[in-house]
Structure 1
Amino acid sequence: MGASSLESGSSRQAPLGAVYTALFVQVLINAGTYLAGKRAMEELPPLTVVLWRFLLSAAVFCLLLLFTPGPKLPPRSEWRRVLMLGLLAGPINQVLFFFGLSRSTASHAALLYALTPLGVYLLSLARGHERPSSRATLGILTALVGVVVLLLGRGLASASGSLLGDLLILAAVSAWVVYTTEGKPFAATHGPVRSTAWSMVTAALLLVPVMPFALDPARTFSVSRPALGSIVYLALLTSVVAYLIWYYALSKVPASRVAIFSNLQPAATALAAWLLLGESLHWALVLGGGLVIVGVRLTQGAPVGPVSPGASLDEEAPVAGRG
């Protein structure tokens, strides 16, 4: 635990600018996740994509744990929480997300995931992790309006996503909200590397029972290079780099401030489509993106702190002190 305390303690001294820069990188990675997921599922079933994603990412995290100073396994007192986080990250969040994405559209998925900050903020309030803030609420709602403007401008009204797919994605969003809220104190205690590694390896282990039925190596290795590249993208960038950044940020700032960055993903997706697919930029990107940025800035400047004096100092007090 000494190494763990050193890691989490040193993290509090890092400037918040570095945290927000890392979150912008995470936003860009996640914007590509929609494209990579859709591309991989053109040739493989959703469950096969999920299994390979977690199998590869778990192998990388095992190597990271091997070379990271400190405990390799979570303390016995944390096994229940690790199991819960792994269940939320893998079998619940990602399985529901990919099955939903295969039946809906990327636009619908982006809009539903834009509900994450609101869900995290409300859950944090309910659990006493943050105190009510009109500025934070205004920021979250402003960013959400920006997302709606952006997606409507890209043709959300005429999108043909099915109701079933949208409901599956909404369930995945709910799991991600709980994962983010519960993961914050865990990351603050054990550091982002171990927290992410333990939850992602647990997620892979929980998926082992279905691997004989859906892993399908022969079919997987016969797909095209773009499809294989998409799986590698999902495994290494989305599941390793983006998850590490997410836990890194959660170990330093309140969960609602981290979650608000998910509202930037639709704008980042639009920019990626412009750069990679040649789609034109339009007024909705400027207006919607501007509202999202304003919402993010409002939320980042909102006062935060635990409701009760007995709340964990590791969770909020260092951040509130930086104001």
Structure 2
Amino acid sequence: MRTPPSRLAAGAALVSVLLWASAFVSIRSAGAAYSPGALALGRLLAGSLTLGVFCLVRREGPPPRSAWRGIAISGLLWFGFYMVVLNWGERQVDAGTAALVVNIGPILIALLSSRLLGDAMPPRLLTGMAVSFAGAVTVGVSMSGDGGSSVLGVALCVLAAMAYASGVVAQKPALRTASALQVTTFGCLVGAVACLPFAGQLVHDAAGAPLSATLNMVYLGVFPTALAFTTWAYALARTTASRMGATTYAVPALVVLMSWLFLGEVPGLLTLGGGALCLAGVAVSRSRPRRAPVLEPAPAPRA
């Protein structure tokens, strides 16, 4: 029995949010030894190498010319600028504040895609995003530390959210003529080239970094970058940018769960409640209204 495309897209989106949630755990280790730019470059180089191997195995050539504009914009903004700025921002603010500010991204995606791509904004999507954002605020408040947040750190996280949203919206048209693997591979390469000025810092940091930090950086490149961005592009090609953006609201809830399982950080009731709201909002935003039953016409009376 053949799996419906909608279920394949939903499964691909689930893989993306699971791996992106795991990235927050890995960044804690790698970010302690690598500077923001060096970590972004190392991650993108590992991702580009992995994606290049996939392209060779599948004999994927360069994308068509019509897709390059979207690939270049998403590569510069989402793969390059976003990763550097987010790494930098998380050094200035606590994790809760960073997660809260970056979670304006799905709202920006919905606004931009409605304006630029003509995406519909059904009530269920808007309601689900509102519920999920309330959950993200709850998680962010509950995870905030006592050290306060710098204005610079908050501004960097806002820039990261804007770059993420713009990159997603730019990527959508490219997927009309190029495959998910092509869009991801060449977007990652564009991001890596943009981060080459940090090559010297990467070499310097790698010389003194513990093995665990370097392995976490490689993990970030292979799984949350190469695999997760490809499954994201696959799902994005089969649904709207607004709906895909709302799906990422599951990430804060999954981060809470993974921190509990792998870092021993026991969440409080407020954090658990916020995570539940995030998941509930995603479920609402991705649900579809029930179709009204089609009534069979009554048989004509016999004479």
TM-score by length of 2: 0.87
Pairing 1:110-125 to 2, within 5 Å after superposition? 110-125=99-114
Runs (5+) with no aligned partner, structure 1: 1-12, 304-323
Kindly report the root-mean-square deviation, in angstroms, between the aligned alpha carbons of the 2 structures. 2.2
Taking the aligned partners of 2:205 and 2:112, their CA distance within structure 1 comes to 42
| Deviation, structure 1 residue 167 | 0.9
Moved over 4 A (4+): none
Q: Paired residue for 1:85?
A: 74
1:16-55 paired onto structure 2 within 5 Å:
16-55=6-45
Task: Check the 8 A contact 2:109/2:168 in 1, yes or no.
Answer: yes
CA distance in 1, matches of 2:120, 2:36: 39
Partner of 2:59: 69
Q: Name the amino acid aligned to 1:279.
A: E
Aligned to 1:202: 190
Percent of pairs with identical residues:
25
Shift of 1:128: 4.2
The residue that corresponds to 2:238 in the other structure is 252
Match of 1:252, SS state, is coil
How has the CA–CA distance of structure 1 residues 219 and 93 changed in structure 2, closer, same or farther, with 3 Å as cutoff?
Answer: closer
Summarize the Cα distance change of 1:18–1:285 in structure 2 as closer, same or farther, 3 Å threshold: farther
Larger radius of gyration: 2
State which drifts further: 234-243 or 84-93: 84-93
Query: In structure 2, do the counterparts of structure 1 residues 21 and 132 end up closer, same or farther at CA, with 3 Å as the change threshold?
Result: closer
Equivalent residue letter for 2:76: L
CA displacement at 1:137 relative to structure 2: 1.2
- Which one-letter code corresponds to 1:108 in the other structure? T
* Aligned-partner residue type, residue 8 of structure 2: A
Match among 169, 180, 189 for residue 181 of structure 1: 169
Q: Is the 8 A contact 2:135 2:274 kept in 1?
A: yes
Query: Residue 310 of structure 1 aligns with which residue?
Result: none
Per-residue CA deviations over 1:113-147 (Å, capped at 9, x if unaligned) read 22122111111111242123222211111110011
Q: Does 1:148 align with 2:148?
A: no
CA distance in 2, matches of 1:38, 1:294: 27
**Structure-2 residue corresponding to 1:163:** 151
User: Post-superposition shift, 1:182?
Assistant: 1.6
Contact 1:116 1:262 in 2 (8 A): no
Match of 2:201 in 1: 214
Gapped regions of structure 2 (runs ≥ 5):
290-303
Distance change (3 Å), C-alpha of 1:80 and 1:152: closer
Q: Which amino acid aligns with 1:215?
A: L
Which residue is equivalent to 1:8?
none
| C-alpha spacing 1:162/1:302, structure 2 compared with 1 (3 Å) | farther
**Residue in structure 2 matched with residue 56 of structure 1 by the alignment:** 46
Instruction: Give 1:180 shift.
Output: 0.9
Letter in 2 for 1:237: F
Paired residue for 2:91, among 102, 106, 117?
102
Aligned residue for 2:301?
Answer: none
SS in 1 for 2:248: helix
Structure 2 partner of 1:274: 260
Tell me whether 1:238 sits opposite 2:238 in the alignment. Answer: no
Q: TM-score scaled to structure 1, two decimals?
A: 0.82
Paired residue type of 2:110? Y
1:299 equivalent among 269, 285, 300: 285
